Structure 1
Amino acid sequence: MSDAPKPRRRWLLYAPLGIAMAGSAGFYAMLRGLQSGSYDPRGVPSQLVGRTAPGFDLPPLESANLPALADADLRGVGRPFLVNFWASWCVPCIVEHPQLMHLARRGVPVFGINYKDRAPDAQTFLTRHGNPFRRLGRDEPGRVAIDWGVYGVPETYLLDKDGIVRWRWAGPVTPEVLEQDIGPLLRRYA
């Protein structure tokens, strides 16, 4: 008997090399896309874009003295508005909060969904940073976030005056996102 590997087994030795080459090619393509601007790492597609929001009925954050939030509240707003998923434990939510406050001061309706948070912590966050929300619902179990396809907080959706989801942003709303994306979309769907 010979100790030489059989031809079929020899091909198995090349499998890890092939996998590494395929991964390298994919990584290279992603880097080229980032360089040319054709790849957006935050551009996670959403099944909701072009549709109305899924049905939901959330309890209020009682200490905030704001009305609860349900899907019916997202119809008939009469102008484009935002739905923002956030949490007090979310560091990027602190980064985006000044932009939400700015939009609220400009009269843009912002509806909040507090995601998997403790009510006292959520209230402390709003007391410390301000409250930009017209209505605020608590999604403590996270079921509504699942129905919306939320990957993590913060996540923001822009809906038109008829309540159709037109845009989604996974990550904090920065001044650049506000200027380059949200501002033009608010004008477009006004």
Structure 2
Amino acid sequence: MAPKSILLVMDMLNDLVHPDGMGGKSYVPLCEERGVYDATKLAIRRAREAGVMVGYVRVGFSPDYAECPPGSPVFSKARDNGVFTLGGWGTEVYEGFAPEDGDPDIVKHRVSPFYGTKLEPLLRAQGIGRLILSGVSTNGVVSAAVREGHDRDYDCVLLEDCCAGATREEHEHALSGLKRFSRITTAAEVEF
């Protein structure tokens, strides 16, 4: 019998994947070219039809950026650029994949969806043993989720067509390393 699953939609935020967001010049073209928007919608629909929980992971910081690490190469410019501010448009999930009432909202302050979040207690409380992973970036949150999920004894499944990096090379390089820690499939082929 397959373990109970959750589909995690990670960092599919306006700041990153909306054409008007700060990621509009990096993630949006590759997401459009690769069909990530439609594939993610398909994965969410299929998960809901199968009765699988859909959880949303969002990076964000309070308006004073108290949780934002000033020395981080990834987040140090967030304050200067006014991005990833919780409570604002930028940290809302892109409308095409918007959560429904009752969907878990996991807010993170680092790359990993596990570090300092409610994700692990949620998974344990719900008896979830399999993580079905999607989002941006493949070499950021998706990679961290796969590696940490693996080391926490979760069965990890990566939906390759529901992920993107800022470049095709970033995406493909991340995938080449993640196939050791997860099964890689697509939104249409995954078994929920």
Fold shared by both chains (TM-score > 0.5): no
TM-score (norm 1): 0.37
Q: Which structure has the greater CA radius of gyration?
A: 1
Which has the larger helix fraction?
1
TM-score by length of 2: 0.37
